[in-house]
């Protein structure tokens, strides 16, 4: 198949969602509880258009990772469940079905912390991404992924000896081996140097542009996330408090204050670091 071998010009953008088209993914008024007691998501709603990069921003504990796990079906492993609302992918409800079936539908999650298998080879880790496939093109796709990430081809050690950036590339490559329609990425910049963060987000942009893979990106590095996303949602206390285009969010004074390191062009005084200068308008 030509899924991984699409040839686009370097400056060509990925697919543009048609006006009025149904979203690839729709999360509608979802509530999530852990241990039948702890309410984490409180009526969360969001949409991800086909072919787009959408980001979820927010502080630790806002419910971003829980949102991804609700979509990918991984809540069950942590005694969590969707207790209200629905999650629809390509017009079909997927909340409540097993994770392997969700992967077969075309959604693959790149977990926080990479979660590669340290004592397996790079090739073995990549083949794990194709565990739901039964076609004869896995070997060819493996070569294509290694062409896409030449640094992984050069490394012959076990995966546990890779650098943090290389492990993130391996985790993304493993996701691509599933031939996903959509990738959920949880904190891809975690633990990486600024230079590697820039490289990883460049890879995310290329995957979306060249392969047409839709991306839902959870990230605390708001500046990096908004540099690749076309639309963003800001979460606080398990719900969306603000959303808009990436450009609109970058220009929003509250977003600048609380997520981008400053309001406007005015430099902050150190005496103000103990408390916020502005109360969040959405709380």
pLDDT in tens, 184-208: 999 988 888 888 888 889 989 988 9
The stretch 216-226 carries a mean pLDDT of: 92
Residues comprising the chain, all counted: 283
The answer to whether residues 167 and 126 touch, using CB atoms and an 8 Å cutoff, is no
pLDDT of residue 147: 86
| Averaged confidence pLDDT in the chain | 85
Tens-digit pLDDT profile for residues 7-60: 333 333 344 455 567 899 999 999 999 998 999 999 999 999 999 999 999 988
pLDDT of residue 182: 97
Element (H, E) at 69: helix 64-72
Of 234 and 195, more confident: 234
Q: pTM for the whole thing?
A: 0.83
Query: What b/e readout covers 164-184, taking b as 16+ CB neighbours within 10 angstroms?
Result: bbbbbbbbbbbbbbbbbbbbb
Alpha carbon distance 90, 106 (integer Å): 10
Q: Which of 249, 194, 185 has the alpha carbon at shortest distance from 222?
A: 249
pLDDT of residue 271: 42
> Tokens 């408390």 correspond to what residue?
275
Identify the band that residue 259 occupies on the pLDDT scale cut at 50, 70 and 90: confident
Identify the band that residue 280 occupies on the pLDDT scale cut at 50, 70 and 90: low
pLDDT of residue 281: 64
Identify the band that residue 279 occupies on the pLDDT scale cut at 50, 70 and 90: low
Out of 34-48, 92-106, 127-141, 202-216, pick the least confident.
127-141
The residues, ordered by sequence, that sit 6+ positions from 153 with a Cβ below 8 Å of its Cβ are: 146, 147
Q: State what percent of residues in the chain have pLDDT above 90.
A: 53
First to last CA, the chain: 49
Domains of the chain, each with CATH number or no CATH: 25-251 (3.40.50.300)
State yes or no: pLDDT of 266 exceeds 50: no
Of 275 and 7, more confident: 275
The stretch 119-127 carries a mean pLDDT of: 93
């Amino acid at each position: 198949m030509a899924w991984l071998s699409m040839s686009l010009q370097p400056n060509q953008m990925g697919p543009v969602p048609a006006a009025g088209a149904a979203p690839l993914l729709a999360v509608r008024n979802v509530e999530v509880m852990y241990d039948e007691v702890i309410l984490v998501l409180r009526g969360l709603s969001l949409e991800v258009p086909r072919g787009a990069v959408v980001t979820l921003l927010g502080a630790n504990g806002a419910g971003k990772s829980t949102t991804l796990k609700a979509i990918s079906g991984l809540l069950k492993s942590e005694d969590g469940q969707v207790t209200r609302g629905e999650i629809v992918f390509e017009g079909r409800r997927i909340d409540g079905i097993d994770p392997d079936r969700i992967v077969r539908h075309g959604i693959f999650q790149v977990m926080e912390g990479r979660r590669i298998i340290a004592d397996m080879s790079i090739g073995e880790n990549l083949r794990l991404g194709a565990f739901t496939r039964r076609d004869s093109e896995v070997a060819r796709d493996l070569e294509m992924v290694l062409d896409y990430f030449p640094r992984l081809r050069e490394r012959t050690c076990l995966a546990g000896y890779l650098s943090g950036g290389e492990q993130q590339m391996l985790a993304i490559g493993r996701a691509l081996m599933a031939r996903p329609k959509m990738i959920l990425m949880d904190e891809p910049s975690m633990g990486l140097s600024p230079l590697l963060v820039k490289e990883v987000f460049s890879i995310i942009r290329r995957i979306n542009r060249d392969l047409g893979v839709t991306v839902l990106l959870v990230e605390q590095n708001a500046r990096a996330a908004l540099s690749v996303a076309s639309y963003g949602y800001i979460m606080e206390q398990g719900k969306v408090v603000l959303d808009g285009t990436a450009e609109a969010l970058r220009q929003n004074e509250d977003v600048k204050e609380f997520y981008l390191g400053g309001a406007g062009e005015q430099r902050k005084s150190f005496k103000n670091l103990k408390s916020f200068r502005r109360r969040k308008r959405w709380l």
